């Protein structure tokens, strides 16, 4: 990836499928942008795309007409990228020579590449002005049986077997998506080969305007910031230097704010061990990262260290969970009555055309039971039946890099293979050392209880099956004086209303903690 100088400016307009599409235009029009990136693929998104791809395949086999799949392409990619972002901004992308990297390819980057090329051709763009590349090889769903003996456990916390995940061997778990994080090197290869737009599947994660105050503890500062606040929210631009340092900023005359606190909160978002944040290409140690406000809405980030990566790639998988509650309840009752177990079982879903067998429709079903008012069968209050939705469960495991290859297809060129078999430099994952705490609360005579929010900022969110709560000290920032808490088990598939953990940090900040009275008087 050849840069014009030792400074590269990268903007990010999307954190998930459904994020603001207008942010892309804002960043494209910003002065001097080199690259535009967009993340559409949260863990649960892979399961949603897989279900819609299956619906598309089923329609094709039934010779049904194509129907709207909610912004997903027929093969399971994010069609919104083409219709809402690319088509609207093609002239400026060409004029400003901006390159785009996005994982809008979802489960079928090649189909997304073809759709982009078709849109470019229809727009009358001259051949060669925009070259599209697709990166594949991350989707290993069809290889799961071949590789089942190679899958390894993934531990959220170092050397903690109780908080590890593995490939689900239960035959009842119908896995609908299984993808490897491929990292940056296949993308760099595509750019070196002349690509203007690089479309990938699963590679890494990214967030949108949170670092510019979009989800900030002191939210009033962001809402009422100059240039319209949240009405005109600015999206982040990273100015990267060749020595690994970078500046976080945003376009001029936009709302929001970039401060050491907004950057510090975001830095601790969705990480596990801050001393060993494992990526496909590097192990990042951010324990000594320092944040410095160098100008209005400009924060310099220094002190990050990298080590060679491990010999494995992380896999992100989704299966649709099943329930046995009615069967178990019935069997318990039969046992108490000393009756024999059920001889035959037949479970039918009313309203899903079960009685049609293989001729059942998945859309516009002909059974009407779910449209009948539930007045006589419900409790007082007369609510209707809830709309059923699948419980998608996320799991992670590891796969040796030697078992995976990335395939880079650039324009009309023959596909290139990028392997991960250079294992001469690999790292073991070290255990982060204990932090030595010199502070002794007994040295203070008068102690009071104050809300933690008076002392710290916080940011939380999910990483598949886990939730992270990052707490950042409000005042002195040698490093960033942060703490990271990791909650494990059943994150994505939890039945709680906030299964993604977005409110957990603010809940924690509302708790009262013991602090010296003299410190409280200064706040």
Q: Same structural domain for residues 220 and 247? A: yes
Name the one residue in this structure whose structure tokens are 């596990």.
272
- The three-class DSSP label of residue 508 is helix
d(CA 138, CA 144): 12
- The three-class DSSP label of residue 56 is helix
d(CA 85, CA 399): 35
- Residue 231 DSSP symbol: G
Q: Answer whether residue 467 is part of any domain.
A: no
Name the one residue in this structure whose structure tokens are 């090197």.
185
- Residue 255 DSSP symbol: B
Strands of 283-285's sheet in order across = 277-278, 283-285, 305-307
Widest distance between CA atoms in the chain: 80
Return the minimum-mean-pLDDT range out of 41-45, 179-183, 393-397, 427-431. 427-431
Q: Same structural domain for residues 74 and 131? A: yes
Return the minimum-mean-pLDDT range out of 48-57, 275-284, 356-365. 356-365
Q: Answer whether residue 143 is part of any domain.
A: yes
Give pTM, 2 decimals.
0.77
d(CA 13, CA 10): 10
> pLDDT tens digits, residue range 299-338?
999 999 999 999 999 999 988 876 666 678 788 888 999 9
Q: Name the nearest CA neighbour of 258 among 206, 222, 310.
A: 222
Q: Same structural domain for residues 183 and 331? A: no
Q: Same structural domain for residues 363 and 248? A: no
> pLDDT tens digits, residue range 442-453?
556 677 777 777
Structure tokens at 234: 């600015």
Q: Same structural domain for residues 221 and 357? A: no
Q: Which residues contact 230 (CB under 8 A, 6 or more apart)?
A: 214, 222, 223, 255, 256
Domain limits for position 110: 7-256+293-316+395-419
- The three-class DSSP label of residue 357 is helix
Q: Same structural domain for residues 160 and 242? A: yes
Residue 469's φ and ψ, nearest 5 degrees, are -120, 110
Q: Name the nearest CA neighbour of 196 among 111, 245, 251, 126.
A: 126
Find out whether 465 and 396 touch, Cβ atoms under 8 Å: yes
Q: Answer whether residue 297 is part of any domain.
A: yes
- How many structural domains does the chain have? 2
> pLDDT tens digits, residue range 55-111?
766 555 554 444 444 455 566 899 999 999 999 999 999 999 999 999 999 999 999
Going from the C-alpha of 277 to that of each of 94, 173, 262, the distances in angstroms are 36, 29, 20
Residue 377 has pLDDT above 50, yes or no: no
Q: Answer whether residue 123 is part of any domain.
A: yes
């Amino acid at each position: 990836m050849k840069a014009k100088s030792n400074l590269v400016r990268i903007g990010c307009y999307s954190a998930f499928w459904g994020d603001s599409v207008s942010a892309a235009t804002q960043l494209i029009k910003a002065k001097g942008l080199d690259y535009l990136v967009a993340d559409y693929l949260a863990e649960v998104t892979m399961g949603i795309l897989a279900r819609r791809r299956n619906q598309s395949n089923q329609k094709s086999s039934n010779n049904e007409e194509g129907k709207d799949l909610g912004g997903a392409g027929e093969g399971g990619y994010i069609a919104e990228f083409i219709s809402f972002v690319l088509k609207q901004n093609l002239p400026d992308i060409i004029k400003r020579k901006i390159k785009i990297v996005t994982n809008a390819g979802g489960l079928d980057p090649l189909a997304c590449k073809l759709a982009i090329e078709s849109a470019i051709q229809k727009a009358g763009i001259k051949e060669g002005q925009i070259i599209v590349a697709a990166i594949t090889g991350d989707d290993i769903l069809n290889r799961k049986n071949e590789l089942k003996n190679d899958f390894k456990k993934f531990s959220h916390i170092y050397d903690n077997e109780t908080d590890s995940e593995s490939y689900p061997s239960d035959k009842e778990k119908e896995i609908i998506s299984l993808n490897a994080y491929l990292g940056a090197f296949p993308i760099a290869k595509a750019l070196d080969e002349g690509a203007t737009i690089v479309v990938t599947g699963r590679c890494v994660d990214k967030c949108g305007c949170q670092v510019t105050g979009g989800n900030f503890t002191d939210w009033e500062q962001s809402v009422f910031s100059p240039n319209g606040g949240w009405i005109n929210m600015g999206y982040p631009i990273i100015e990267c230097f060749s020595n690994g340092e970078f500046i976080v900023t945003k376009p001029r005359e936009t709302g929001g704010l970039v401060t050491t606190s907004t950057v510090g909160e975001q830095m601790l978002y969705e990480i596990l061990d801050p001393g060993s944040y494992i990526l496909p290409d590097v192990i990042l140690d951010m324990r000594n990262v320092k944040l410095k406000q160098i100008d209005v809405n400009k924060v310099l980030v220094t002190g990050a260290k990298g080590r060679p990566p491990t010999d494995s790639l992380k896999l992100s998988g989704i299966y649709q969970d099943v329930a046995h509650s009615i069967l178990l309840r019935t069997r318990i009752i039969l046992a108490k009555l000393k009756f024999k177990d059920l001889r035959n079982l037949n479970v039918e879903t009313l309203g899903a055309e079960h009685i049609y067998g293989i001729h059942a429709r998945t859309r516009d079903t002909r059974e009407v039971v779910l449209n009948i008012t539930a007045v006589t069968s419900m409790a007082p209050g007369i609510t209707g039946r809830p709309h059923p939705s699948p419980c998608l469960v996320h799991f992670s495991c590891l796969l040796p890099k030697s078992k995976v290859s990335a395939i880079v297809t650039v324009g009309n060129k023959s596909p290139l293979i990028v392997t991960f078999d250079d294992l001469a430099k690999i790292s073991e994952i070290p255990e982060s050392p204990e932090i030595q705490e010199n502070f002794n609360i007994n040295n203070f005579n008068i102690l009071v209880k104050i809300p933690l929010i008076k002392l710290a900022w916080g940011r939380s969110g999910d990483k598949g099956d886990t939730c992270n709560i990052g707490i950042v000290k409000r005042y002195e920032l040698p490093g960033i004086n942060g703490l990271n808490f990791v909650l494990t088990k059943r994150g994505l598939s939890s039945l709680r209303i906030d299964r993604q953990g977005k409110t957990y940090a603010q809940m924690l900040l509302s708790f009262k903690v013991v602090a010296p009275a003299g410190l409280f008087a200064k706040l």
